[in-house]
Amino acid sequence: MKISLGTDHAGFRYKEKVKGLLGSLGHEVKDFGTFNEEPVDYPLFIRPAAEAVADGECERGVVFGGSGNGEAMAANKVHGVRCALCWNEETARLSRQHNDANVLSIGQRMIAEELALKIVRVWLETPFEGGRHARRVAQLNAM
């Protein structure tokens, strides 16, 4: 799977850890930055990562920040993106099963690194269950 990554300075460390995890799992990564912990404006890095998913260049994306909230909001402004802010394995699982989330947002200041890596694994491995949720997701995608 090809996965886009984007972060501001507050999520840089987790982005680098997740990039390593994704590579070890055999995924291709497109890294939209940032590339260090110098302060930056997150939309400059989050929007291109989200657009890569919406345009079909990448199948999924993961964005990072301090809380993950602003990053999820910025990603969700891109038509075709369904970005879920996840803080535990269950929210990651449900975001895929019920909402077919194609972008994941993680807050580096909110959760431990080990948990962030577990969330990414669960999110990648969980399929969309379709069924009763498929119609609602199709409606959301059409908006």
**DSSP letter for each residue of 83-109:** EEE-SSHHHHHHHHHTT---EEEEETT
Among 71, 90, 114, 129, the active-site one is 71
**Residue 55 burial (CB count, 10 A):** 11
Spatial contact of 61 and 50, defined as CB atoms under 8 Å apart:
yes
Instruction: Give the contacts of 76 (CB within 8 A, at least 6 positions apart).
Output: 50, 82, 83
Among 98, 114, 125, 129, the active-site one is 98
Residue 71 falls in the annotated catalytic set: yes
**DSSP letter for each residue of 43-86:** HHHHHHHHHHHHTTSSSEEEEEESSSHHHHHHHHTSTT--EEE-
Residue 98 falls in the annotated catalytic set: yes
**What letter represents residue 125's amino acid?**
E
Q: Show which residues are catalytic.
A: 71, 98
